[in-house]
Amino acid sequence: MNIIFGGGLFRALRLSLAFLALVLGLATFACAASPNAGPGAVHVLTADGDVNPVMDRYISRGIGAAEDENAAAVVIRLKTPGGLSTSMDSIVERIVNSKVPVIVYVWPSSGRAASAGTFITYAAHVAAMAPGTNIGAATPIDASGSDIGGDLGNKVKNDAVAKIRALAELRGRNADWAEDAVRKGTSVQNSEALRLHVVDLVANDLDDLLKQTDGRQVKLGSQAEIKLQTANAPVVYNDQNFIEDFLNLIADPNIAFLMLSLGSLAIFIEFVHPGAIFPGVFGVISLLLGFFALSVIPFNWAGVALILFAFILFGLEVFIVSHGILGVGGAISLVLGGLLLTSDNPPGFQVSKLLVFGLAAFLALGVAVILTNVLRIRRMPAKVGVETMVGRRAVARSPLNPTGFVFVNGEYWSAESETGEIPAGSAVIITAIQGLKLKVKRTEPEGAKA
């Protein structure tokens, strides 16, 4: 094969990768630890964004830290447009079973607790809102963002209604309004929510919240009611640590799709271009990051398999000329894989169709260019083609035992030794050409340079 890649670019990228690894390593050591304020403190969490597995992990960790410290209460400052029902269910379960009181505070002004956020707020021992906030619009939707119709829609809505009415009964809040929020998508602003007893209070800020909640009676599980003591309690902020921030950054279907695609492409390049370290390193890291991102996003394994299979087809197209059939199959496989990868998720958790088709077209074009060059070389007349390379010197870029790769005229070629094993770095001479493979023999001691 004669595929050319710039060595200077690889060196620069290797240095960038090493620097990135150093930064990530130092940042990992700088991860925020759980607060250690002692018993009786109020732990404040900030849940801002989509309800997803990362938020679930963060809230679970925060409540666990408060339980370990015998905290007076946990305040979850919540701002969310909604998210995954599976993550919502997990968060609700964690709040309901918490061993310390949990106060959900819809915050800041202009924020909202929509959709899944409504369920989380209803699960709290104390539900509060800041001025200028709203809550509601909790109707379940399908993966396309549309209403779920038919019998399935009725089942999903009835299940959601039963769930939120159970929470309303548990906390003594307005169950009828909660049902309307699910069935009709009803939403209200803070003062109306207080009047309808959707929430327990409206507080201007955190200090006001802790003053208003002080002395309230709440019940933890099957225990007797306890009195909140929050007015003069120490306040500690348990923010997301580096790992959670990093997960939030990459927990995006588009990033996961890119990492899987680019990682597979880089590993394919390493196979056809051995000796350049960066593609292999980058490919492995990209695949690991892609699967790391998928660990916090619901996904379809069939989509992953199709994406990986696409690059197998692209690779085969380079080695086995099928007149484009394998390349077209790879593009189709990549498109189907991207579309299936997160097809069951809500719209905000799906891979962009524009990204899927754009990347597939780009890669198919790249494979077509490579294929065209291979065919052009094969069809060259012998007097100006590869036959003129017989007798030229080359350098072994990988051990020839008996096959490997040599570098000649600025290109990498597959080669086979006629004189036994030849170490990498040895000078060789081309003795014959069979198809796209060179026959070579060693001419100089190990370590010679071309």
Catalytic annotation, residues:
115, 155
Structure tokens at 181: 């929020």
Sheet with 134-136, strands from edge to edge, namely 112-114, 134-136, 187-189
The DSSP secondary structure of 231-242, one letter per residue, reads: TT--EEE----H
Find the farthest-apart pair of alpha carbons in the chain and give their distance in angstroms, rounded: 96
8 A C-beta contact, residue 350 and residue 342: yes
Distance CA 106, CA 370 (A): 56
Output DSSP code: residue 41: P
The candidate with the shortest Cα–Cα distance to 171, out of 108, 104, 106, is: 104
Distance CA 342, CA 253 (A): 7
Distance CA 333, CA 305 (A): 9
Distance CA 76, CA 248 (A): 18
Phi/psi of residue 189, each to 5°? -90, 175
Phi/psi of residue 174, each to 5°? -70, 105
Distance CA 59, CA 325 (A): 50
User: 430 has which bridge partners?
Assistant: 440
